[in-house]
Each structure stands twice: as C-alpha cells, then as structure tokens.
Amino acid sequence: MGGLIWENNEWQDYGRQYDVTSLYPNIQQSNANFPIRQGKFQTLSDFVDHRGYALYGLFCAKNKRGIYTFINLQRAKKLGLNIQLIQDRKPNALIYDREARILGTVIFSEYVHFLFNIKNQGGQRKRNYKTLTTDQIDPVKFPEGHTLNSIILVGSDQWRFQFTNPGNPFKGEYPRITPFLLAHGRKTTLELLKPYKDKVRHIHTDGFILKEQPDSPALITLSRKCI
C-alpha cells in the first residue's frame, strides 16, 4: 500500500498542476488516531460493530484478497462497493483498541512544527538542514546502519543531529502507523478531488493535474502553510 497514483496516459491537452503542501505532516499532527501498541487478531463477520461504527484495525477482505485499513473499507462502502471479509476460519482482522492508540498531535505535533519552521527559514539554517538531503559540499553524513532520531538547535546557526541504530527498521511501535497514515492521505486526496473527478488527469500521492485552460482561474486554492 502506498500513495494514490493514477494517470490518463492518452490525455493530451492543457492542464494545471497542484501540490498539497505537507499532506502527511498535517495528518500526523492532527487528531487522527495511530496505533503504537500490539493489536489483537480476531475473526469477525464485518468491519463495523453492532452500533455501525468501524472497528480500528486491518482487515482481510475478498477484493483481490487484500489487507485493508478500516479507512479504506469505509471509503469503499461509501462508494457503494460490497465489502465482505474473508471467512476461512482464520483470523481476518487485527484490531487496535483504544488503549493501543494515541492521537497524532501528541506524537508528532512538536516535531512537525519544528521541522516545518526550519524548512521555511532562509539563510544558514536552511542550508544546514538541506545538507541532509542534497549533494552540497561537506554534507552531513549518516552513520552506516543508523537512523536520524532528532535535530536539536545548539546555537544561532548550529544544529546537533542525533542518530540511533535500530537494527531492524520494522522493530518497535511506530511502524504500525504506516498503513493508517497512508490511508488517511489517500482519503484526503480523493475527497479533495471528488468535485473535479471529470477533470482529473494525473495523481501522484499529494500532487495532481486537472484539465484546465491556462487563462482560466485555478479551480482549487491550496494552503501554503502547515496547519
């Protein structure tokens, strides 16, 4: 499962390109819930409970025998698709109850604002930060097998980079958020584009192209700030 990707390869005409600023950081620092503890495997008949509320988890559904988040299944059901979980006497759901989840704003809010401010600052600070991802002279080198853990301001133009060696990037609690973060991103993009579905010609994660004339006003005004 990844970002939303689609393209009309036969299309040749004028269009306007859009990009949603910091789509995933905005989701990370929102009130969306993310799992950080081990879930429980269960065998269920549906992905909603007796009150009609979707259960927070991953589900094995019959559509191409895939694994889907409850966010994906909610969206599919809203579109009128028939959702059926696989029934083969094996667990078909991994459920994360309230005790296994935490709000994204609690985990990520401080870090998102910190890094977004660095991104938008000019001068030496911005160049120092950019050395992490560009081939400038004397770039910051990541120790082999290590992961950047934190960036700490230690002076007016100096930063301390702290690295850890996780051994296996899929160990720990936080990799569990990945499918839910991606599902939120796909849902956000789809809902944004729904009024313009007949004009969509290309989608790639948080960027898309709509069929528009170059002298016409933009159909969508996107925020340039991380909120």
Q: Are residues 196 and 90 in the same domain?
A: no
Same domain? 50 vs 23: no
> Could you tell me which of 21, 17, 19 has the C-alpha nearest to residue 211?
17
**Coil, strand or helix: which one is 48?**
strand
* Domain match, 221 and 207 both: yes
Q: Provide the greatest CA pair distance for the chain.
A: 61
Helical ranges in 16-101 per DSSP H:
23-28, 70-78
* Number of structural domains in the chain: 2
Residues 110 and 209 in one domain: yes
Q: Does 167 lie in the same domain as 76? A: no
Check whether residue 10 and residue 48 sit in a common domain: no
Nearest CA-CA partner of 174 in 56, 22, 35:
35
Q: CATH number of the domain at 5, please.
A: 3.90.1600
pLDDT of residue 171: 60
Residues 130, 188, single domain; the answer is yes
Q: What is the pLDDT of residue 108?
A: 87
pLDDT above 50 for 225: no
- Per-position DSSP letters for 123-169, written without gaps between them: HHHHHHHHTTTS--SSPPPPPTT-EEEEEEE-SSS-EEEEEE--SST
Q: Give the CA distances from residue 158 to residues 125, 153, 155, in Å, rounded to whole numbers and listed in that order.
A: 7, 6, 5
Helix (H, G, I), strand (E, B) or coil at 2: coil
DSSP 8-state secondary structure symbol assigned to residue 13:
S
Q: Which structure tokens are listed for 91?
A: 């667990």
Same domain, 163 and 213: yes
Beta strands in the chain (DSSP E): 5-7, 16-19, 33-35, 40-42, 57-60, 67-69, 93-95, 101-103, 147-153, 159-164, 200-204, 207-210
4-61 per-position pLDDT tens digit = 888 998 898 999 999 888 888 889 989 999 999 999 999 999 999 989 899 999 999 9
Token code pair at residue 224? 């340039």
Q: Same domain, yes or no, for 55 and 83?
A: yes
Does residue 107 share a domain with residue 89? no
Q: Specify whether 117 is located in the same domain as 222.
A: yes
Least confident of 31-45, 85-99, 158-172, 189-203: 158-172
Checking if the pLDDT of 116 tops 90, the result is no
Q: What is the dihedral of CA 182, 63, 8, 27, to 10 degrees?
A: -10
Per-residue pLDDT, 131: 36
**Structural domain containing residue 60:** 40-95
Identify whether residues 25 and 49 lie together within a single domain. no
* Euclidean distance between CA atoms 161 and 218, whole angstroms: 41
pLDDT in tens, 150-184: 777 666 666 777 666 655 555 666 788 999 999 99
* DSSP single-letter state for residue 22: T
CA distances from 61 to 17, 58, 92, 150 (A): 35, 10, 8, 38
